[in-house]
Structures are given as C-alpha cells and as structure tokens.
Amino acid sequence: MKKTLLLLVIILIAIYTPTVQGAEAKKESSARPAATDAANIPEMQAGKWRIRMTGGRASDSEMCGNPIDGFSREVQEYAKNTKWGCTMTTSASGPRSVRVVYDCPSDRSPDGRPVQKGRWEISLDSPSPQAFRLEMKSAVDRGYVMEGIRIGNCE
C-alpha cells in the first residue's frame, strides 16, 4: 500500500468521522481528557460542528459528533506501526496544540513494498474544546487547512 493512501486515510477519517446522533450525542456532549498522553491530541466537545476545508477547493459542511475523533485514533494507530519503514511522532506545542510528523525516508518498506517517500507535518491548534484548526503541510502533497467550530448540540 502506498504511503499516499495511508495519509489520505488519516485525512478522510478526520473529515468524515461517523456522526453521533440523538441521545448518543447528548451523552458525549462534554469534553473528556485525552485517552492517552502518547498522541497529545486535544479532545473536542461532541456536538454539532461547522467545518471549513481549504487547500484546493474550499468547502463548508456541518457534522454531528467529535470532528477529530477518527484523526486521533489514526494517529495513535500509525504511531505504533513501523512495518512501512516510516515514523510518526507527536509533540505538544502548547496546552491544546500538537504537531504530528509522518516521515518516510525511503520509497520502499523494509519488506520491499513501495511506499511514498516524503515528510508530512500536521499541526492541530485548539483554543478550547469547541474550536480547532488543523493544517497539513508537505513537499509531496498539496497542503490543506481544516477549521471547525462547535455551533450547538446535535438534534
């Protein structure tokens, strides 16, 4: 599997995390502490969110749930996985900010499978559990920015 596909999965999961509806959303409406210190990913308050994507064609959408829950899970999963010969590191860059670096120094995995060589940096800044800005930069792929603000409870 190519490295681009792995990064695309992280991005798509971040954007299209399954929504939480009705009573489930109300149950999850308060911000929780992070499940693990390893990823340093700040928790967002579940609810109704307005999301804006830029980098290429801009798009606006709304979703219900935690907008970065899938991204958090994927970062933790890929940080543990070294079979591609790539590394993922996370470092806190502030009280509710994290920098994630995914680095593939070779175009081949240790077992010879093709991997996209490159480095991707993702910064997540969240002034509160109700707002965030996620920016991805890379010399290999087009960068993007995803911004979100909580606009209420899910119906």
Domain ranges of the chain: 3-19+37-152
Residue 3 has pLDDT above 70, yes or no: no
Which residues are CB-neighbours of 96 under 8 A, at least 6 positions away? 42, 125, 126, 127, 128
27-44 average pLDDT score: 52
100-129 pLDDT, tens digit per residue, is 999 999 999 999 999 999 999 999 999 999
Phi first, then psi: give them for residue 81, nearest 5 degrees.
Answer: -95, 115
Which residue, chain included where needed, has tokens 């543990």? Answer: 80
Instruction: Give the integer Cα–Cα distance in Å for 117 and 69.
Output: 27
60-75 average pLDDT score: 92
Q: How confident is the model at residue 152 (pLDDT cuts 50, 70, 90)?
A: very high
Which of 31-45, 67-81, 127-141: highest mean pLDDT?
A: 127-141
Instruction: Copy the structure tokens of residue 133.
Output: 């800005």
* Averaged pLDDT score across all residues of the chain: 78
Enter the pTM of the model. Answer: 0.72
43-67 pLDDT, tens digit per residue, is 999 999 999 999 878 899 999 999 9
Instruction: Copy the structure tokens of residue 70.
Output: 């899938």
Instruction: Give the integer Cα–Cα distance in Å for 85 and 12.
Output: 22
Residue 148 has pLDDT above 80, yes or no: yes
Question: In 1-155, which residue ranges form alpha helices assigned H by DSSP?
Answer: 3-15, 22-27, 69-80
